[in-house]
Each structure stands twice: as structure tokens, then as C-alpha cells.
Amino acid sequence: MLGLIQTALTYIIPFLLVLTVVVTIHELGHYWAARACRVAIDQFSIGFGRRIFGWRDRQGVEWRVGWIPLGGYVRFSGDENAASVPDQNNLSAMRQKIEAEQGPGAADRFFHFKPVWQRAFITAAGPLANFVLAIIIFAFLLMSVGETVIPARVAAVQPGSPAAAAGFRVDDVVIEANGQKIDNFFDLQQIIAVRSNAPTQFLVDRGGQVVSLSATPERRVMPDRMGGEQKIGVLGISSPADAGQRTVRRYGPLEAVGAGAERTWRVLSTTVYYLGRIVTGRESADQLGGPLRIAQASGQVAQSGAQGAPDATTMLLGSAVALLGLTAVLSVGIGFMNLLPVPVLDGGHLLFYAYEAVARRPLAAKVQAAGYRVGLALLLGLMLFATWNDLQQLRVFKFLGGLIS
């Protein structure tokens, strides 16, 4: 019993908190955009399933909390038929029915009868809200906590490493990597980690002279913070962190917002680049993680934030700060994933709206319905694959095999 409680406090609760914040902000993006376009809204739900509690506001929107805390949704009036009335004939029949029941002009408040640009705006507002959330969180952390800065100076070069072959020397200061300005060893590590077996250009300051070097990080299997393994690129250089060369940099409000936007873009571009390497076969697909690994990461991040705290208050504060950072990164991932051109995701809807804008009519109902089924199958398949990777990474099968034997 104590073990179950400890597991819930360590992994499940942090995971649900992070997921609930990210999904709620995503749905609020859809909600506020719909309100701005005067779309009739029936319901806003945090969680799925039977309602635990809720209320109805003055606009008639039912706000509710479901008992399954694994997401949420906003339901526009008429959404219950959204998959079956996407073409012109069914929309005409739907308009006639609505106006017969609610009076002339009533259909104009329904999502399906808004101009295509408004529907696209409402759809894109969810992922956009995720990116805005990430910027706000990063900016808040940079103002309040600051960032640890370790000079991008080479403290040591491993013999026989890609860095040694490329000509890196001790005391070289890396000022640019793969076209990106570098002023922190952490940033350099992130670039190297996702560029295994990819030739990369570096600019280093060597005694006041700028020297250009080309190196190819090699892929190595390294332990991660979650107790599993990860395949990342390694150059073979050490940072001066062990010598105590680190400072804390804090930002002012405007500077923090700019830096938050830059970090959000960096996370997004790195995600796109890494997924591109997986699709093209240059990176192993077993690195894709799913909900189990996110839950484990949430627990580990919360623990690392609380580590070394002198009292319970400081421990909770440290965990909260660490989880905020994870929330920002996950929010970028959720925003990007929803923009993929897969039916049932926001990106798939935007694809259909783009066709409608060009052809001046909605895509045929049969085609959209088939697209939704294919998209759902792809999404479920990806989730199953990612969950399988989670089980492999967490060594669940080895554990079960040990129990059986």
C-alpha cells in the first residue's frame, strides 16, 4: 500500500499535473478564439468521462471536470455531427434544421458555418496557445530562477574521439555550432546530442583567432536520468563545470520574453530536425517515447528539483520549478504534434480548410470520413509503438521474464 502511494506521489500525480496544464491551455486556445469569432459553445471539459463537478456560465457554456484526467476538450454547438456533415449538401440540410428550430440567422453562430479563415484560426489557436504557454513559462523561469551558464570552453579532449580527429584543443571556446551562436556549454551539448553521424561545422575562439572545425559526433548508448538508455551524439569534449566555472544569469522582463521565445523555437526546431532524422532512417525510432516515459520523466524531474532541499517548502518549490520546465518543453511538443497534417489532429483540419479555400467548397464527406479513420489508425498505431518503446526502455519485459523464470 505504501509503495502504491509512493508511486502515485512520485510519478502519477506530477504526470497528471503537467498533462492537465498543457491540454487545458491547448483547449483554452480553441475556446478563446471561438469566443472572439462568436461561435456557439456547449461545453468545456477538463478530463473525460462522467462529470465530477461543473457549472454553467452566463453564456450557457457548461464547464466540467471529468473523472478521467487524461486530456480535455471544448465542444462547439453542433459538434456531435461534425464528422457526418462536412460537405455542402449536409451543411445545407443542417442549416435548414437549425434555423427551423432556432430561427433565421441562428446557424451563423455555429462553427461549421463560419468563414473558412475563422475556422482555420480557431483550429490553429490550440497549438498557438501551447507555444505561448512555453514562452511564458521559459520567461518566468529566466526572470525568477535564471539559467545556469557554463562557458563553452573545452576543458579536455578524449583521445580517439571525433573532437580529437577534428582538431579541437583544450581551452578552445566554441562560439558557433551548426550555424547557431553558442554562449553556454548546455546549448552545445544539445546540438551535438541530436546530430550523431552528421557532419557539423564549429567555430572556435583559439587565443583570439577564430578557427573553423568540422566534426561528426558519434552515436553512443548513454544512461539517461530515468534509469534507461538513450542513443545520442557525443563529440568527446568535457566542460569546465567540474572546475566550478558556472554562473547564474537572470533576465529582465522584456529580455526574458525574447529569450523565452528563442528557447521555444529552439525546442521546436530540434524536435522537427530529430523527427526528420527518424523518418529518413538516420536515427533509431526506438527513441520515440510515449505516456509511460513522460510519466517517468515527470517523476524524475520532480525528484531532481527537490533534491538537496533543506525543508519541505523548499523541496516543493524546487519540484514545481523543475516541473514548470518540463511543462514548457511538453507544451511545445503537444503544439507541434497537433499541427501535423493528420486527420483528427488540428493539422489535418487545417489541411481540409486549405482545400476548401482553394476549391471554394468542402472536401467530399466520404473522403473526409475516410481520412479521419486513417488518421485515427495512424495516431493509435504511433501511440502503441511509443508505448512499446517505453516498456522496452523501462525494461518491463526483462522484469516480467525474471518473475516468470
Give tens-digit pLDDT for 13-37.
777 888 889 999 999 999 999 999 9
At residue 168, the pLDDT reads 93
Does a structural domain hold residue 158? yes
Residue 21 to residue 26: CA distance in whole angstroms: 9
The residue-averaged pLDDT of 97-121 equals 84
CATH number at residue 173: 2.30.42.10
Residue 117 to residue 123: CA distance in whole angstroms: 10
Beta bridge mates, 205: 173, 210
The grid coordinates listed for 144 are 525568477
129 pLDDT exceeds 80? yes
Asked if 175 and 297 sit in the same domain, the reply is no
Residue among 27, 62, 147, 283 flagged as catalytic: 27
Instruction: Tell which residue, 304, 272, 289, 318, has the closest CA to residue 141.
Output: 318
For the chain, the domain total comes to 2
Question: In which band, very low, low, confident or very high, does the pLDDT at 2 lie, cut at 50, 70 and 90?
Answer: very low
At residue 306, the pLDDT reads 46
- Computed over every residue of the chain, the mean pLDDT equals 80
Higher pLDDT pick, 5 / 233? 233
The residue-averaged pLDDT of 313-335 equals 80
- Per the listing, cell 524536435 goes with 271
At residue 210, the pLDDT reads 93
Among 249, 266, 281, residue at a domain's last position: 249
Q: What sign does the CA torsion over 93, 33, 50, 346 have?
A: positive
Does a structural domain hold residue 2? no
Asked if 379 and 264 sit in the same domain, the reply is yes
Question: In which band, very low, low, confident or very high, does the pLDDT at 390 lie, cut at 50, 70 and 90?
Answer: low
3-class DSSP assignment, residue 265: helix
* Direct distance between the N- and C-terminal alpha carbons of the chain, in angstroms, rounded to an integer: 26
Whether 120 and 350 have beta carbons less than 8 Å apart is answered as yes
For 58-104, the pLDDT digits (tens) are: 888 999 999 888 788 899 887 654 444 455 666 777 777 777 777 78
At residue 175, the pLDDT reads 93
Asked if 141 and 278 sit in the same domain, the reply is yes
- Per the listing, cell 455542402 goes with 88
Does a structural domain hold residue 95? no
For the chain, the farthest-separated pair of C-alpha atoms sits apart, in whole angstroms, at: 81
Provide the residue count of the chain.
405
Higher pLDDT pick, 67 / 296? 67
154 residue type, one letter: V
3-class DSSP assignment, residue 92: helix
Higher pLDDT pick, 373 / 155? 155
Asked if 133 and 175 sit in the same domain, the reply is no
Asked if 223 and 266 sit in the same domain, the reply is no
- How much is the CA Rg of the chain, to the nearest whole Å? 25
Asked about 27 being catalytic, the answer comes back as yes
Domain housing 288: 123-146+252-405
The residue-averaged pLDDT of 189-214 equals 91
Asked if 320 and 363 sit in the same domain, the reply is yes
Numbers of helices and strands, H then E, in the chain = 12, 12
Asked if 133 and 167 sit in the same domain, the reply is no
Whether 207 and 177 have beta carbons less than 8 Å apart is answered as no
- Per the listing, cell 551562436 goes with 181
At residue 399, the pLDDT reads 39
Whether 9 and 297 have beta carbons less than 8 Å apart is answered as no
Kindly state the helix (H) or strand (E) to which residue 223 belongs, with its residue range.
strand 218-223
At residue 329, the pLDDT reads 87
Beta strands at 209-215 and 218-223: parallel, antiparallel or unpaired: unpaired
Residue 289 to residue 329: CA distance in whole angstroms: 14
At residue 264, the pLDDT reads 94
In the 8-state DSSP scheme, what is residue 153?
B
Residues 6+ apart with CB under 8 A from 290: 383, 385, 386, 387, 389, 390
Does a structural domain hold residue 364? yes
Question: In which band, very low, low, confident or very high, does the pLDDT at 314 lie, cut at 50, 70 and 90?
Answer: low
Question: In which band, very low, low, confident or very high, does the pLDDT at 397 lie, cut at 50, 70 and 90?
Answer: very low
Q: How far is the CA of 350 from the CAs of 7, 51, 333, in angstroms?
A: 40, 31, 18
Among 223, 249, 275, residue at a domain's last position: 249
Asked if 275 and 366 sit in the same domain, the reply is yes
Asked if 270 and 242 sit in the same domain, the reply is no
Asked if 259 and 169 sit in the same domain, the reply is no
The residue-averaged pLDDT of 144-163 equals 88
Asked if 224 and 312 sit in the same domain, the reply is no
The residue-averaged pLDDT of 348-361 equals 91
3-class DSSP assignment, residue 268: helix
Residue 251 to residue 241: CA distance in whole angstroms: 22
